[in-house]
Structure 1
Amino acid sequence: MAAEEEPSHTMMKSELSYAEESKVREEAELLMGPEADWEKFLLLAPITVALLGQLVCITVEKGDFSIHGNAPSSGYKYFREPESFKVCLKEVCDRVWDAFQLGMDNAALISLQLKNVPKKMANLMQGFLQDANLRKDQLVAQIEGMQEKVDECKTLAKEVRAKFSEQGDALQELYQACLNAREDYKKELETMQKELEGARIQMEPAKCEQNRAELTHAQLEDQEQAAFEEFVKAVKYKPSILDALGAKGETQLMEKHTAKLEKNQEMLVGAQQDKESNYQRIKHLNEEMAELQCAVNRCELGERDLEGYVSSLEEGLEALRNLHQQCVKMVQFFQMISNLLDFSLNWHIRECLDSANDLQQVTQAFSTVSVAQLVQLISQTYATIVERYLMELLSQMGRLLGKDCSSFHTEKAQLDRGCEDAQEALTRLVGELKGNFQRDLSTRLETIEKVKLKLNP
């Protein structure tokens, strides 16, 4: 999940050759044209909150899982207690809140620092129009003061850029840990599935053996019953008088009866022993089947848990990847502000001080105003939208992490609506401010024409 390369925006690195009055219109068009899509960075801010909500949703709906033993090769640097995904996610939410809070505060300071630049430059140019001989000293003093403010603003922008960059590194670390965890859980799942398959394979012959033993048991019960009946019949047998005629005949009859009785008894005992032996066999087979069934149940439960962990990690990795991209965009956003301050505004200020040509000097002064107002507009928009909408939404994340499924979805729906409202409000606000900026640019261009006529009557 490498950081994306920063896009090439004309407004992020203004052409350093704009010095003539004829170039001011072109610069204004570049700043406000379709390619100067600076607002797309701001429009990503509510998406960041929505992605955090998606990550929270994973832990609430699918449960938490351990990533403690899945640290990146360099170990954990940004997470104090990396016991589980949910614990780390809480730290991520706190870090994002801190980054947006710092961004809001510093953007408000940048906006405040640059707020009076257009008015000061307008007053300066008005004085120049009235008395061109007074312009140099006034211009130098005013513009040097502005350059100090620009440097302060640049420091503020770099501070926020570093904060979001650190957050991006933390997300990268968590992403790698989750990637490692997913691979480990996949291996565990593969092992569990093999164990489950083995248990199921063993159950098939064991079940057949169990069925045969139960069938044998039924047959032995019939044999035992038959032997018992024969034994009872032999016990109850009484010789008739005719059979008992003569002592010798009686003795032979009794001997035969005794032998038959003993034989029936042996058959009954044999049947009972066979039945008991088969019963013990059935008992052993039942225990074996119970163990196999327990193994199957345990493996099926483990399989479901591991599949759930892998599924959660797949969703989490996707959300973390997207969240990291948004973080990179925030880094680029404040880098854009820093570049505008450094490459455009600072350059125009220096050119304005160094220029010996009257019209060129006035042109650079108005270019300075244009860039300063653009940076002030961008910063003000960011600070306003974050303060009005995003900080409250971000503060809900900790509460959402503590919810159970029964109450989570109601608050998650409120969070989603809040993100949508922020997106709509941001779009409206950007449209209004860009419109105001365009009108101010037109007014300044008209003023340049007046200066041109004054200097070249």
Structure 2
Amino acid sequence: MAAAGGPFQAITKATVSPAEEDSVRKEAELLLKPDAKWEELFMPAPASVAILGELACLCARQKADVSIKENCPEDGFKYIKHPESFRACLHQMCDRTGEALNQLYVKMDGSRLHSMFVSRKMNQITQGFFQNAQAGRDQLQSGRQNIQNKAEKCTESAQAMRDVVSEVISLAQEMLLACQEAEHGCEQDLTDVQQKLRKAKEMEQSVRKAMEDAQLKQKLTEGNIKQALSKIEKALTISFASCCDISSGVSDKTEWIKEQISKVESRGEALRGSQAEEHRSFENTIKLMKEQTELLCELKASEMSERDLETTKEMLIERRVALAKAEEQWEKMLQLSCMISNLIQFCFTWDIEECLASAEGIQQATHAFNASNVAWMLYMITKIFTQVYTDHLLDLLHSSGKILTLEPSDPDFSSEHAKIDRGCAEAQKAISSLVLEMKEEFKRNLTAGQETIETMKAAQHP
């Protein structure tokens, strides 16, 4: 569990050692002061639901789903049911959040009734001490078992709350860890694709250069062929004209023709060599073009993979950040349940025991009054939570769950999204108002009780 900050650091621990009891008592006294920031205890509930709602909106707008089963534990996930789909995991998280908040409501409502009973009973006993020390002590002795039973039920409820909240935290943490592992796997795949992409680009550039060289060579070969053909054609033309020249002697003419034929054969041999070279160059060009086409296809596929992986990585980061925020809010709710448990166990019980152990009436009345205050504060805390749940959290949960079933093009999508934003703000505003109202009531009760104690002191020591 994350460490609690502020004046409630020790009191929000799940267990408190005997050496820490005095510290817990003092911090409980701070919490009982009317200026304590009680609203900080309740804000995480609507905030956690709103975060899930925003995450649901984000997933709906990004039509592509993402898997978080990368590097799955050998024995599988303990809480996640469908790691191949983050959207399915989010459904599970939203459902579990709704169930958990409903269970918290039931436990809080039971604690509200128990703490109200104990507070009223301890207030009656305080009045009894004011009228007669022995009468007050007798009332406390006779009602002690019933009070203790109520306190134990509150403690059991607080423990059940801690268990419920811890389960949601465990699911959120497992999803968070799965997102981190998937993100790391995505980063490695992205690195591999980018390396493959660089190599493919280098090879494509090499093939492109080879093609340019081959095409240049082919042009030169074509030029040589044309030149050779031109020379052969010219030689044949001259030879034919010489054959028709009757002024030349037959012998001379024959020798000259043989010489021309020899030249033409030599040029023909060069022509055939150029043609063979042209054929080889053509085949090489075809081979290079095929290789270039394959490389271009590989480049295209790698670029698409790179874009897909970058998109997946961004999606995983967004989901991881949102889950971390939701997990943080649930950690704060765990602090609330631990605080309730410790208040009952270490503050409320102390005052009752010390009340019985004290011999002097004013001290007994003071301890009884303190026990009443603790119980009344628990009553107010649980009442605020149950009221916020019924008035605001239920609607928030409904909108967050409904978002997961809608397409962004659906007209209800925008209205449900707006309800999430508005619902969270309204819940936080209601919390502030309720806390202020309860503080005023607590302050009036505190003042009245203190005045009673002072009156009792004045009566005993005129």
Q: TM-score range by the shorter chain?
A: 0.7 to 0.9
Relative to the length of structure 2, the TM-score reads 0.81
Give 1:198 shift. Answer: 1.3
User: Are 1:326 and 2:329 counterparts?
Assistant: yes
Q: Report if aligned partners of 2:208, 2:292 keep a CA contact under 8 Å in 1.
A: yes
Instruction: Rate the CA distance shift 1:369–1:217 in 2: closer, same or farther, 3 A.
Output: same
Q: 1:376 aligns with which of 376, 379, 388?
A: 379
Instruction: Rate the CA distance shift 1:27–1:382 in 2: closer, same or farther, 3 A.
Output: closer
Q: Distance in 2 between matches of 1:204 and 1:296?
A: 12
Instruction: Rate the CA distance shift 1:443–1:396 in 2: closer, same or farther, 3 A.
Output: same
Secondary structure of the residue aligned to 1:115 is helix
Give 1:235 shift. Answer: 8.2
Q: Counterparts of 1:25-424 in structure 2 under 5 Å? A: 31-32=32-33, 36-56=36-56, 59-60=59-60, 63-72=64-73, 75-126=76-127, 134-224=135-225, 239=241, 243-244=245-246, 248=250, 272-403=275-406, 411-424=416-429
Q: Report if aligned partners of 1:178, 1:313 keep a CA contact under 8 Å in 2.
A: yes
Instruction: Rate the CA distance shift 1:242–1:79 in 2: closer, same or farther, 3 A.
Output: closer
Secondary structure of the residue aligned to 2:279 is helix
Instruction: Rate the CA distance shift 1:276–1:126 in 2: closer, same or farther, 3 A.
Output: same
Q: 1:5 aligns with which of 3, 6, 9?
A: 3
Which is worse superposed, 328-337 or 179-188? Answer: 179-188
Consecutive unaligned residues in structure 2, runs of 5 or more: none
> Which amino acid in structure 2 is aligned with residue 89 of structure 1?
L
Q: Distance in 2 between matches of 1:246 and 1:92?
A: 110
Q: Distance in 1 between matches of 2:169 and 2:295?
A: 49
1:447 aligned partner: 452
Q: Report if aligned partners of 2:53, 2:420 keep a CA contact under 8 Å in 1.
A: yes
Instruction: Rate the CA distance shift 1:11–1:371 in 2: closer, same or farther, 3 A.
Output: farther
Secondary structure of the residue aligned to 1:71 is coil
Give 1:239 shift. Answer: 4.5
Q: Report if aligned partners of 1:43, 1:427 keep a CA contact under 8 Å in 2.
A: no
Relative to the length of structure 1, the TM-score reads 0.82
Give 1:166 shift. Answer: 2.1
Give 1:120 shift. Answer: 4.1
Identical amino acids, percent of aligned pairs: 32
Deviations 1:34-66 (A, max 9, x none): 5x4343121222332243245445644554333
Instruction: Rate the CA distance shift 1:406–1:220 in 2: closer, same or farther, 3 A.
Output: farther
> Which amino acid in structure 2 is aligned with residue 452 of structure 1?
K
Instruction: Rate the CA distance shift 1:328–1:241 in 2: closer, same or farther, 3 A.
Output: closer
Deviations 1:278-319 (A, max 9, x none): 222211111111122222222222222233333333343333
- Matched residue pairs, number? 449
Q: Counterparts of 1:5-24 in structure 2 under 5 Å? A: 5-7=3-5, 9=8, 12=11
Which is worse superposed, 52-61 or 320-329? Answer: 52-61
Instruction: Rate the CA distance shift 1:380–1:236 in 2: closer, same or farther, 3 A.
Output: farther
Consecutive unaligned residues in structure 1, runs of 5 or more: none
Q: Distance in 1 between matches of 2:70 and 2:28?
A: 55
Instruction: Rate the CA distance shift 1:72–1:55 in 2: closer, same or farther, 3 A.
Output: farther
